[in-house]
Amino acid sequence: MTVSPMMDSPRTAAANPPVQPVQGNMGQAAVVRSSAGGPVAAEPTALTPVAKLIDVSKCIGCKACQSACVEWNDTHPEIGANVGVYENPLDLTPDMYTLMRFAEYDNPDSGDFEWLIRKDGCMHCAEPGCLTACPAPGAIVQYSNGIVDFIQENCIGCGYCVSGCPFDIPRLGRADHKAYKCTLCSDRVAVGQGPACAKACPTKAITFGTKDDMTALAAERVEDLKSRGYDNAGIYDPEGVGGTHVMYVLHHADKPGIYNDLPENPQIAGVVENWKGPTKTFGLAAMGLAAVGSLVMGLMTRSDVEAEDEQRAADMVDRAADPAAPPEEQV
Amino acid sequence: MARRVYSEPGDRIVSRDPVEVKRYGGLTRLNHWVTAITLILLALSGFAFFDPSLYWLSGLFGGGETTRWLHPFIGIVLFLSFMLLFLQLWRYNIMRREDLVWLSNFRDVVSGHEERLPELGKYNFGQKFVFWAMFWLILVLIISGVMIWYQFFPDLVSVETRRIALLTHSVSAVLIILTLILHIFAAFWTRGTLQAMVSGRVTGGWAWRHHRKWLRELARRQRADPAE
Amino acid sequence: MTNSWTDIKNTDLVIVMGGNAAEAHPCGFKWVTEAKHHRGAKLIVVDPRFTRTASVSDYYAPIRPGTDIVFLMALIRYMMENDKIQWDYVRNYTNASLIVKDEFGWKDGLFTGYDEEKRDYDKSSWDYVIGEDGYAEVDPTLENPRCVWQLLRAHVDAYTPEMVERVCGTPSDRFLKIAEMIGECSSPTKTMTSMYALGWTQHSKGAQNIRGMAMLQLILGNIGVRGGGMNALRGHSNIQGLTDIGLMSNLIPGYLNIPTEKEPSWESYMKSRAFKPLRPNQTSYWQNYPKFMVSFMKAMWGDAATKENDWAYNYLPKLDVPTYDVLRMFELMDQGRCNLYFCQGFNPLLAFPDRGKVTRSLSKLKLLVTMDPLETETARFWENHGEHNPVDSAAIQTEVIQLPSSCFAEDEGSLTNSGRWLQWHWPGAEPPGDAKLDTWIMAQIFLRVRDLYLKEGGVFPDPIVNLTWDYADPNDPTAEELAKEMNGRALEDVTDPADQAKVLAAKGKLVKNFTELRDDGSTSCGCWIYSGCWNEDGNNMARRDNSDPDETGAYANWSWSWPVNRRTLYNRASADLAGNPWDPERPLIWWTGEKWTGYDVPDIAPTAKPDEVGPFIMNQEGVSRLFTRGMMRDGPFPTHMEPFESPMANVFNAKMRGNPVARLFESDVAHLGDSTEFPFVATSYRLTEHFHYWTKHNVVNASLQPEFFVEISEELAAERGITRGGQVRVWSKRGEVWAKALVTKRIKPMICDGKTVHVVGIPLHWGFVGAARKGWGPNSLTPFVGDANIETPEYKAFLVNIEPAVGEAVS
């Protein structure tokens, strides 16, 4: 038996997934935005917006999310080296879509030491910089539930998404030159399961559900943190990118930068906006006008060499060739 | 023998009736056309990434991925080719006083009153402008291009710098295409010019009309060398 | 664990000391985050390093490795000084009021009866005063200076906050803050749970560390209650099962004992196991010892074990030493007195201390058989791997046979978790290649050995040829058959003692649980505490009902927990003397006026009156023990003992090295270092990315933590000129390793006795086989010293030196 494809997506990562075969609900019919004018659904399936909530205050940095991500996505990370830190690998890679980042922080206010551990990965922005920057039609899509996904078969490997992303997330494969990042397990979510990382997280530091539910849960967690003396605890759901479908609960929401450079106020860089905006418009206009203008002018006018010019040239050459001739006068 | 000021080695009068002048050697022409073709290919492939409406152009190169892969290599060819051209021609493209006079009387250029303009060497201001614009833009394009050449230089510069490079690259690309349009237009508009790059020769009249100092220099050199 | 993992969600305060729950037990740690989230529980971490557990704690304090007893005794002193005692609990449920012999005392770090020659105590003075009625004398007022309470008060008097700062290096303000937080849990409605692991056991006085916390928990009234308890976090998925099933050389399944040479007869063996109650009306459940023992003998030898031949008591080996633990076995190998080693599911080359000695010992064997799903370093101990295993292969004559076995995911059976839950599992895959089930391999060996004995006889073939082997396929005993054998069955009809006509278990049927076992040979049972796991109701371990009425965290119908599906041990102590729960919000069991009932299986006879029968039914006293009589080799109270390798002398007795009765062989004394040559304190631990030496074979785990490193403070790095990510050489009196340096703020130098103490952290996951980069384990450095009571090696506190390494390749 197949469950209705209309089944809306949010299922918490904790809930057991349906056991019967399920037809995914996140196909083309749910695409609301597509890079470089790629195809979008005319009347997209209205899925409920989802979110992954990462509660940094519950995270123990065990990297279960990393290994679940590797397992589910069947990537093959290389066995690197230890360079004197807990991050392994040292950065996101095309084979590691998520990464625990560890920051050692001496809190100047409390005088206490804190070890801030943050799971880094795609934030699934409502206004995705990667999608804006991408030149390949349909290589990056956004679904009606908010998930931003890379469609590798349409990816041309230019790396523009890396530059477009305010969070420095996408990574290109060294062999296939395709861009990769967290998909929010769109393939799992499409059939009613939560992301692999949330499923694997032992402490519920990663939870998944509707964005509304996650926002409410986050608010509850913020209350708890405030009761423990974290006066600046808060939710990270930055406005600059229209909000995100991956949110953090931070003990120090006033200083996201201390969590390994989580951007204070992320937004699509002005340079990128200019590149994809005015440069394109004015550039196309200018080139078009120039081309058309020169064509018209070329048809209407010309500069011809006249017959006398040939004679004058012959004269000049002859005179020069004759040593007796007086030098040519300067005109 | 008269010192060359306006002409390249190889420039010479090849026939006297009618006067025909050798303007470009074979290698230079080849060089030019390689440059021209690569630039056009770069424009076409670049357009594919520039705007989604032009993405179909990538089909000319075998699809988006190939286009992405090819574009920078064509860029390298362009750069090297242009640099070779540059080494040959830069000397004759240095701006001179008469170029400014020419420019200030640009209206006469358009209206065909060249008699009101100063006599010129091998290049006029317009040509020199194109030359230098190409030079600087290619330089900017190659530098910014390497910065955004993700396949081989993913970690060359920071993301912030790469963003600026992307913007710079696309703005420069627009400018170089405008320059290219100008160049092509001028070459067609000024009849007799195109054959300089095709056969390598121009008519005496063309030379007399547009580059009299150059013609005169060649004429004098010919006198000084009876063996020719 | 006295409680279960799921019960931790009921707590108000978690103290993680002697462990690193988040990092080594991340899945169980979820119950801590649940308690924090839903109950507002607080988390305290006391550890030499600021661990991943500390990263989510509410309060952290550093401690010098190996000084936990000082900290714990100081906490008890604080509770006594500040009246943070759950008095009703202490008076009625502990032995605080019992009177101790006058001869007992403590001086200069030693208890009475120490014999320096024997390195042992004469424990005869460590006992109660027994009255004329045969019961221990008591003073319910707790005022008698010889009562346990007053002796304890005197004993902990030296452990002031200043002493903590001086010995542990813990700033006294941090200590006091923690003491204050813990003190709140003396309220009957607030509980603390203690989560510990090998951070406490791997010391020469490991058992006393745990005793210390257990005593504190008793004083606070936190044993037997929801959200309380002493919770040992077991380091393997089935290590609880290992101890339960008696894989220790001195144990028989179910914590029965292998006889010693001093017990040549059944009678002499049973004489010291009468377990007569020491207080009136008490249960003293070990009085049933003969039932469990006889049933075990019947399970082993069936008809060959008869009343007439003392249940084949002569088949049992008699220990000539207290135990043949791993340290002793390797000592024997080193002496050439053991020449065959059968190594099943173990990697001693990386797991036992003083790797040099381990290699030397293995090299003296005639035959080494390894039985493991993975390629182990032990199986390859003879193979030269450059600096990672610099042996001269040609000089080693040991024959090595590797028997590939299945891993846990490839076989059927049960795993016993820390919370004593026996959880049945089914194979998820076929064993690869030639790998076989452990049971199949063992059966093959047994059947061949038995054939040899049958054919050739021998000095004493009886225990082998008479061994019960009633399996459908003798070559392949199934998990079901083994489970039923452990559960036990009736060999004759078992009747109700109160009503002989009533048959509880008909002949041939499985017994319901150990209450149906008999000492007349009519029942057999392989492991009495597991009795009930697979009875006539079916396989209780396979139950998967996750309902939890009233969300108590008991999950009584999920799998099965020993004993008799009881989820919280000593749960009778969760109710007061009238049988009402101490905390009405968190009831566990209660007295209805006629019987005990509640969410858990009562840990007391169902009709035992609450004001008569004490809650600690396994103890002869009926109460818990703040004073352990002579049951531990190194003292009835925990007393501070320095590690064998320590940067400072024992403040009580400068001449005393380590634990005066710890396991230490003469030949190893010369291999102990001192702080002039080795100024830094090292400690070893696991990282969450790996499981022991297994996961280095897995590329995913290996990619998450690829390479051996050591952790040091920024201060030590600066002092020694070590850079982050640079290579260092770490060496002890016994060996050396090379590693990457992880320089961190999470380890800070401590001031102990006016001296700066630096800690070097050494994780343990690397070797020379597997997917991860080659490295070393801490056992290249650790001393060959074991705990006085259970011989666990002292891995958590030893001395090393460190320097930047130039030129040596790490990988």
**pLDDT tens-place string over residues C27-42:** 999 999 999 999 999 9
Confidence class of residue A271 from pLDDT cuts 50, 70 and 90?
Answer: confident
- What are the strands, taking DSSP E only, across chain B? 12-16, 19-22, 201-203
Q: Using the predicted structure, report yes or no on whether residue C577 has a pLDDT greater than 50.
A: yes
Q: B183 catalytic, yes or no?
A: yes
- List B71, B183, B210, B211, catalytic entry: B183
Predicted pLDDT at C422: 97
Residue (of C181, C231, C216) closest to C21 by Cα position: C231
Which site among A16, A53, A63, A106 would you substitute to test the C interface, given the most C Cβ atoms closer than 10 Å to its Cβ? A63
Q: Using the predicted structure, report yes or no on whether residue A10 has a pLDDT greater than 80.
A: no
Query: Are the beta carbons of A83 and C725 separated by less than 8 Å?
Result: yes
Predicted pLDDT at A222: 97
Average per-residue pLDDT in chain C? Answer: 96
Query: Are the beta carbons of C724 and A227 separated by less than 8 Å?
Result: no
How far apart are the CA of A258 and the nearest CA of chain B, in angstroms?
20
Picking from B62-76, B107-121, C45-59, C653-667, which range would have the lowest pLDDT averaged per residue?
B107-121
- Strands C755-757 and C750-752 turn out to be antiparallel
SS3 content of chain A, % helix, strand, coil (to 5): 30, 15, 50
Tokens at residue C337, please? 């007195």
Tokens at residue C550, please? 């009233």
Query: Are the beta carbons of C746 and A204 separated by less than 8 Å?
Result: no
Q: Using the predicted structure, report yes or no on whether residue B209 has a pLDDT greater than 90.
A: no
Long-range contacts of C111-116 (CB under 8 A, 24+ apart): C111/C635, C111/C636, C111/C637, C111/C639, C114/C660, C116/C660
- Residue C265 DSSP label: S
Predicted pLDDT at A313: 86
- Residue C212 DSSP label: H
∠ CA A309-A314-A318, nearest 5°, is: 150
Give the residue numbers spanning the domain of B36: 26-93+124-190
- pLDDT, mean of residues B95-104: 86
**Cα–Cα distance list, A146 to A125, B56, B216 (Å):** 8, 29, 73
For residue range C227-276, what is the model confidence (pLDDT) as tens digits? 999 999 998 889 999 999 988 889 999 999 999 999 999 999 999 999 99
CB atoms near residue C90 (< 10 Å): 24
CB atoms near residue C619 (< 10 Å): 22
Predicted pLDDT at B190: 87
**Cα–Cα distance list, C541 to C234, C420, C490 (Å):** 19, 11, 21
Q: Using the predicted structure, report yes or no on whether residue A1 has a pLDDT greater than 50.
A: no
- pLDDT, mean of residues A316-326: 73
A157, A272, A306 ranked by CB distance to B205: nearest: A306
A298, A310, A320 ranked by CB distance to B185: nearest: A298
C27, C34, C702 ranked by CB distance to A79: nearest: C702
Query: Are the beta carbons of B174 and A283 separated by less than 8 Å?
Result: yes
Tokens at residue B217, please? 């220099």
Total CB pairs under 8 A between chain A and C? 128
Give the list of residues 6+ apart from residue B111 with CB closer than 8 angstroms, or none: none
Query: Are the beta carbons of A88 and C58 separated by less than 8 Å?
Result: no
Residue (of A301, A59, A17, A5) closest to A185 by Cα position: A17
**Cα–Cα distance list, B155 to B170, C3, C731 (Å):** 20, 53, 39
Identify the H or E element spanning C787. none
Nearest CA in chain A to C52: A60
Per the model's pLDDT, the better-predicted residue between A300 and C211 turns out to be C211
Give domain status of residue B219, yes or no.
no
Query: Residue A66: its chain C contacts at CB < 8 A?
Result: 704
Predicted pLDDT at A3: 46
Taking the C-alpha atoms of residue C802 and residue C811, their distance in angstroms, rounded to an integer, is 19
Predicted pLDDT at A136: 95
Give domain status of residue B46, yes or no.
yes
C546 in reach of chain A (CB within 8 A): no
Predicted pLDDT at C811: 43
Residue C708 contacts residue C739 (beta carbons within 8 Å): yes
Predicted pLDDT at B223: 66
Residue C69 contacts residue C208 (beta carbons within 8 Å): yes
CB atoms near residue A28 (< 10 Å): 15
The CATH number linked to B151 is 1.20.950.20
Residue C92 contacts residue C623 (beta carbons within 8 Å): yes
Q: Using the predicted structure, report yes or no on whether residue B1 has a pLDDT greater than 90.
A: no
Give domain status of residue B49, yes or no.
yes
- pLDDT, mean of residues C73-88: 98
- pLDDT, mean of residues C443-458: 96
Confidence class of residue A25 from pLDDT cuts 50, 70 and 90?
Answer: confident
Taking the C-alpha atoms of residue C739 and residue C781, their distance in angstroms, rounded to an integer, is 13
Confidence class of residue A331 from pLDDT cuts 50, 70 and 90?
Answer: very low
DSSP bridge pairs for C558: C544
Find residues 171-230 of chain A whose CB sits inside 8 Å of chain C. Answer: 202-205, 221, 224, 227-228
How far apart are the CA of A95 and the nearest CA of chain C, in angstroms?
11
- pLDDT, mean of residues A98-115: 96
Predicted pLDDT at A323: 63
Share of chain A above pLDDT 90, in %: 74
> In the Cβ-directed half-sphere of C235, how many Cα atoms lie within 13 Å?
19
Tokens at residue C16, please? 């993680």
Residue C530 contacts residue C564 (beta carbons within 8 Å): no
Residue C530 contacts residue C487 (beta carbons within 8 Å): yes
Tokens at residue C62, please? 């550093």
- Residue A167 DSSP label: T
Q: Do the chains C and B touch each other, judged by at least 3 C-beta pairs below 8 angstroms? A: no
The region that residue C311 occupies, defined by phi over 0 for left and psi between -120 and 50 for alpha, beta otherwise, is left
Find residues 17-36 of chain C whose CB sits inside 8 Å of chain A. Answer: 22-23, 26-27, 29-30, 32-34, 36
Give domain status of residue B118, yes or no.
no
For chain A, state the CA radius of gyration.
Answer: 29
Taking the C-alpha atoms of residue C429 and residue C431, their distance in angstroms, rounded to an integer, is 6
- Strands C251-252 and C256-257 turn out to be antiparallel
The structure tokens 């004073």 sit at C627
Chain C neighbors (3+ CB pairs < 8 Å)? A
Which site among A309, A312, A328 would you substitute to test the B interface, given the most B Cβ atoms closer than 10 Å to its Cβ? A309
What SS3 string covers C702-720?
A: HHHCCCCEEEEEHHHHHHH
Predicted pLDDT at A2: 45
The structure tokens 């609450």 sit at C610
Give domain status of residue B128, yes or no.
yes
Chain B neighbors (3+ CB pairs < 8 Å)? A
If 0-12 CB within 10 Å is exposed, 13-18 middle and 19+ buried, where does residue B161 land?
A: middle
- pLDDT, mean of residues C204-228: 97
Average per-residue pLDDT in chain A? Answer: 90
Q: Using the predicted structure, report yes or no on whether residue A167 has a pLDDT greater than 80.
A: yes
- Strands A140-143 and A31-34 turn out to be antiparallel
Query: Residue C42: its chain A contacts at CB < 8 A?
Result: 228
Residue (of C664, C807, C787) closest to C202 by Cα position: C787
How far does Cα B99 stand from its chain's mean position? 17
Query: Residue B56: its chain A contacts at CB < 8 A?
Result: none
A81, A84, A104 ranked by CB distance to C745: nearest: A104
Q: Using the predicted structure, report yes or no on whether residue C206 has a pLDDT greater than 60.
A: yes
Taking the C-alpha atoms of residue C221 and residue C187, their distance in angstroms, rounded to an integer, is 8
For residue range C736-764, what is the model confidence (pLDDT) as tens digits? 999 999 999 999 999 999 999 999 999 99
Q: Using the predicted structure, report yes or no on whether residue B94 has a pLDDT greater than 80.
A: yes
Predicted pLDDT at A272: 87
Confidence class of residue C170 from pLDDT cuts 50, 70 and 90?
Answer: very high
Number of domains in chain B: 1
**Cα–Cα distance list, B15 to B202, C663, C768 (Å):** 11, 112, 85
C742 in reach of chain A (CB within 8 A): yes
Taking the C-alpha atoms of residue C89 and residue C85, their distance in angstroms, rounded to an integer, is 9
- Nearest 5°: phi and psi at B149? -80, 85
Residue C431 contacts residue C410 (beta carbons within 8 Å): yes
The region that residue C502 occupies, defined by phi over 0 for left and psi between -120 and 50 for alpha, beta otherwise, is beta
Query: Are the beta carbons of A113 and C55 separated by less than 8 Å?
Result: no
DSSP bridge pairs for C523: C490
Predicted pLDDT at C673: 95
C701, C703, C708 ranked by CB distance to A78: nearest: C703
A115 in reach of chain C (CB within 8 A): yes
Taking the C-alpha atoms of residue C480 and residue C470, their distance in angstroms, rounded to an integer, is 12
- Residue A20 DSSP label: S
C77 in reach of chain A (CB within 8 A): no
Predicted pLDDT at A7: 54
Its pTM stands at 0.93
Taking the C-alpha atoms of residue A24 and residue A5, their distance in angstroms, rounded to an integer, is 6
Confidence class of residue C624 from pLDDT cuts 50, 70 and 90?
Answer: very high
Long-range contacts of A211-215 (CB under 8 A, 24+ apart): A211/A48, A211/A49, A211/A50, A211/A51, A211/A146, A211/A245, A212/A49, A213/A10, A213/A12, A214/A51, A214/A52, A214/A53, A214/A247, A215/A51, A215/A247
Give the list of residues 6+ apart from residue C430 with CB closer than 8 angstroms, or none: C410
B48, B166, B209 ranked by CB distance to A305: nearest: B209
Q: Using the predicted structure, report yes or no on whether residue B228 has a pLDDT greater than 60.
A: no
Predicted pLDDT at C802: 98
Predicted pLDDT at A96: 97
For residue range A182-236, what is the model confidence (pLDDT) as tens digits? 999 999 999 888 899 999 999 999 999 999 999 999 999 999 999 999 999 999 9
Taking the C-alpha atoms of residue A39 and residue A41, their distance in angstroms, rounded to an integer, is 7
Tokens at residue C410, please? 């490839």
Taking the C-alpha atoms of residue A87 and residue C705, their distance in angstroms, rounded to an integer, is 8
DSSP bridge pairs for C575: C581
For residue A100, the SS3 value is strand
For residue range C502-524, what is the model confidence (pLDDT) as tens digits? 999 999 999 999 999 999 999 99
Confidence class of residue C627 from pLDDT cuts 50, 70 and 90?
Answer: very high
Give domain status of residue B119, yes or no.
no
Give domain status of residue B2, yes or no.
no
Predicted pLDDT at C462: 96
B118 in reach of chain A (CB within 8 A): no
Q: Do the chains B and A touch each other, judged by at least 3 C-beta pairs below 8 angstroms? A: yes
Q: Using the predicted structure, report yes or no on whether residue A158 has a pLDDT greater than 70.
A: yes
Taking the C-alpha atoms of residue A163 and residue B62, their distance in angstroms, rounded to an integer, is 25
- pLDDT, mean of residues C85-104: 97
Give domain status of residue B181, yes or no.
yes
Tokens at residue A143, please? 């679904």
Q: Using the predicted structure, report yes or no on whether residue A328 has a pLDDT greater than 90.
A: no
